[in-house]
Amino acid sequence: MEKQWKIAEHSHSPAVSKLQEKLGVDRIVASLLHLRGQTTFETSKLFFRPELSQLHDPFLMKGMRTAIERINTSITKNEKVMIYGDYDVDGTTAVSLVFSFFKEHINLIDHYIPDRYKEGYGISFKGIDYASENGFSLIIALDCGIKANDKIDYANSKNIDFIICDHHLPGDEVPKACAVLDPKQHDCEYPYKELSGCGIGFKLIQAYSIHNKLPLQACYNYLDLVAASIAADIVPITGENRVLAHYGLSIINASPRPGIKALLNLNQIKQVTTITSLVFGLGPRINAAGRIEHARKAVELLICDNDEQAAELALAINDTNTQRKDLDLGTTQEAYSILENDVLVAGKTTTVLFNAKWHKGVIGIVASRLIEKYYRPTIILTESDGKATGSARSVKEYDVYSAIEKCSDLLEQFGGHKFAAGLTLKKENVEAFKIKFEDIVSSTITKDQLIPKIEIDLVIDFHEITEKLVRILKQFAPHGPENMMPLFCARNVFDTGWGRIIGTNHLKLELFQKSNPNIRFQAIAYDKGDYINFFQRKTPMDIVFKVIENEYKGVTSVQLLIEDIKVNTLG
């Protein structure tokens, strides 16, 4: 599907010129900073040099003081405390962080992850029963619970207190828990709303340390887990998340915990330097445990303090990830086949597929893959406990959660974010849901939202790509939502004649512009081999690309990573 190029209009604005003058940088750097909301010398300095002092006071979060008082009471009374979390990367890292920290302060503590297939998402009645039968009187729930009103009422009836640490959108009424920590509560004045679930867990241990006058370094030692959660949960890399991710990545690079180190070694990942490395390198492997078997294994790996044991656990999780890949590929191919044989597909604005045999652990991944190909709000459903359950993913700028909410009369439960959600409904309601969801989306989504776009930071010429610029670009990391790796456009580029197809359908080029023919860059364009004839015919081309460094045989060079290519029509 052809993508629309959307170039930011800012490079010659007075604000950019003013920032350029204040910082003493070129127009490229000033433009990139301005696009990322950095408009002063001070904010730009902190953007490039994040400091832990930028972290907000955790007691600004509604419910935090009550939560800390309840934890201190549990310690004084020697109560049994359960650390409960969701089965994805955000949940398992959150449980690992909070459990590892509090086991140094709480005598009777354990962790619990619900079984994805037997208990489903979030707080479960079974989990509460387990806590009751084993004498737990306090449960700290992470990355879940904000809409578990009935479960919390049930726990209250059994005299079990809950501290909910969540970052999902609340319903009309929050659960009657002892304390609810969620910056998305409408009356919560916490300044930053985009923390991950593990990030909320970090604020809890930060608050505990401040209240009990403990060294904060003990909290900071767990920022590697927070960075992994930020990457996996695709939260914005802005504000507090940028600080947490920056320091978390530093820990992973310098002294990773045994579990993370074992996964890195097993997969021959020499150094995790970016959020992207975590998203595609560590995230899927940690996630695979909960998707295919039980997320308890992921927690055991992350809290492990023995290298030998960590290596064994990592090997098992890596094998599980291989199974996950096979299931993912098979399910994706089946979904493609269904859509390719559906004559009505072209006229729809949504995709909703249901197959009772699909594995629950990969349906979210498959939904994302279908969006890459068909680009429209997508829901993939399978059967679990006699009901249809699934994952929703959305296109950029469209709130799929709101659309699902408007179908709530057909649903048993649902939850999530604007662009990703989970839902459960009776199987007999699936067809009615498909129709209603299509009606709602088709009446609320715009034609423009159904066109995939590439958002380009700046149009530049090759002569502007200097060693100094490359050094500064590296300081824009960590990258992620709202601070993506800078994306540039260059017009009227040609290949020197060196270009060729490599691998399956990848394009390897050596590019130049006629205005400066001696300035040349090696470039790689994955899955773009079909464009080789244009370059061989010396057709002037426009490219969208990232500037990266490529290391080969110990030599590092600048390379262009091409994201998209078009024939130049502007001259």
Dihedral sign for Cα 179, 182, 188, 189, please: positive
pLDDT digits over 66-86, tens only? 999 999 999 999 999 999 999
Query: What is the model's pLDDT at position 554?
Result: 81
The neighbouring-strand residues paired with 565 are: 543
Contact 507, 529 (CB under 8 A): yes
The C-alpha atoms of residue 245 and residue 477 are separated, in whole angstroms, by: 10
DSSP per residue, 216-276: THHHHTTHHHHHHHHHHTT---SHHHHHHHHHHHHHHHHS--HHHHHHHHHTT-----SHH
CATH class of segment(s) 58-317: alpha beta
Nearest C-alpha neighbor of 459 from the set 567, 543, 515, 519: 543
Query: Containing H/E element for 72?
Result: helix 64-76
pLDDT digits over 416-442, tens only? 888 889 999 999 999 999 999 999 999
Amino acid at 147: K
Domains 342-450 and 454-571 share a fold: no
Task: Give the HSE-up count for residue 102: Cα atoms under 13 Å, Cβ half-sphere.
Answer: 31
Pick the CATH number of 342-450 from 3.40.50.720, 3.40.50.150, 1.10.260.40, 3.10.310.30: 3.10.310.30
Contact 22, 41 (CB under 8 A): yes
Residue 56 CB neighbour total at 10 angstroms: 17
Low-confidence residues of the chain: pLDDT under 50: none
Q: Domain extents for the chain? A: 9-47, 58-317, 342-450, 454-571
- Fill in the DSSP letter of residue 278: I
The C-alpha atoms of residue 94 and residue 144 are separated, in whole angstroms, by: 11
Query: What is the model's pLDDT at position 11?
Result: 56
DSSP per residue, 137-205: EEEEEES--TT-HHHHHHHHHTT-EEEEE--SPP-SS----SEEE-TTSTT---S-----HHHHHHHHH
Parallel/antiparallel/unpaired status of strands 108-112 and 80-85: parallel
Contact 180, 429 (CB under 8 A): no
Parallel/antiparallel/unpaired status of strands 555-567 and 516-525: parallel
In this structure, what token pair is assigned to residue 430?
A: 């699936």
The C-alpha atoms of residue 524 and residue 528 are separated, in whole angstroms, by: 9
In this structure, what token pair is assigned to residue 21?
A: 């003058």
Which residues contact residue 568 at a Cβ distance below 8 angstroms, ignoring those fewer than 6 apart?
491, 492, 539, 540, 541, 542
Residue 546's φ and ψ, nearest 5 degrees, are -110, 150
The neighbouring-strand residues paired with 425 are: 388
In this structure, what token pair is assigned to residue 37?
A: 């909301």
The neighbouring-strand residues paired with 6 are: 455
Dihedral sign for Cα 325, 416, 47, 222, please: negative
For helices 296-303 and 89-102, give the axis angle rounded to 10 degrees. 50
Residue appearing with tokens 């469209």: 398
Query: What is the model's pLDDT at position 281?
Result: 81
Rg (CA), the chain: 25
In this structure, what token pair is assigned to residue 227?
A: 């960075």
Residue 440 CB neighbour total at 10 angstroms: 19
Angle ∠(246,250,253) on CA atoms, nearest 5: 135
Parallel/antiparallel/unpaired status of strands 351-354 and 378-384: parallel
Which residues contact residue 387 at a Cβ distance below 8 angstroms, ignoring those fewer than 6 apart?
412, 424, 425, 426, 427
Pick the CATH number of 454-571 from 3.50.50.60, 3.40.190.10, 2.40.50.100, 2.40.50.460: 2.40.50.460
The C-alpha atoms of residue 319 and residue 278 are separated, in whole angstroms, by: 18
The C-alpha atoms of residue 374 and residue 395 are separated, in whole angstroms, by: 10
Nearest C-alpha neighbor of 476 from the set 52, 155, 48: 48
Number of H helices, E strands in the chain: 21, 19
DSSP per residue, 426-475: EGGGHHHHHHHHHHHHHHH--TGGGS-EEEE-EE--GGG--HHHHHHHHT
pTM across the whole model: 0.90
Ramachandran category for residue 7: left, alpha or beta (phi over 0 → left; psi -120 to 50 → alpha): beta
